[in-house]
Amino acid sequence: MVEILAEFEAQLEAVRLLPTTGGVYEVTLDGALVYSKLATGRHAEAGEVLELLRGKLRH
């Protein structure tokens, strides 16, 4: 989360953390799924979510 805020702070209108159960988390951008631990069955690697966000924001 810190790396995302550091890179995109000026572009972000809001960041929401929604609590869930079972250690599941998903990252979305403007309603589109970027990463899902539930779908992949694993935690994201270091920098993985940041790279996925960069790719979405470039388009």
User: The domain that contains 15 carries what CATH number?
Assistant: 3.40.30.10
Rounded (10°) CA dihedral 15, 19, 22, 27: -20
Phi-psi region at 11: left, alpha or beta (left = phi > 0; alpha = psi -120 to 50): alpha
Domains of the chain: total: 1
| Residue-number span of the structural domain to which 43 is assigned | 2-58
Q: What confidence score (pLDDT) does residue 47 get?
A: 93
- With 0.95 as the threshold, say if the pTM is over it: no
Taking the chain (59 residues) in consecutive chunks of 10 residues, what is each chunk's mean pLDDT?
Answer: 87 84 90 92 94 88
Q: Three-state SS across the chain?
A: CHHHHHHHHHHCCCCCCCCCCCCCCEEEECCEEEEEHHHHCCCCCCCHHHHHHHHHHHC
Q: Please report the pLDDT score of residue 36 as a whole number.
A: 93
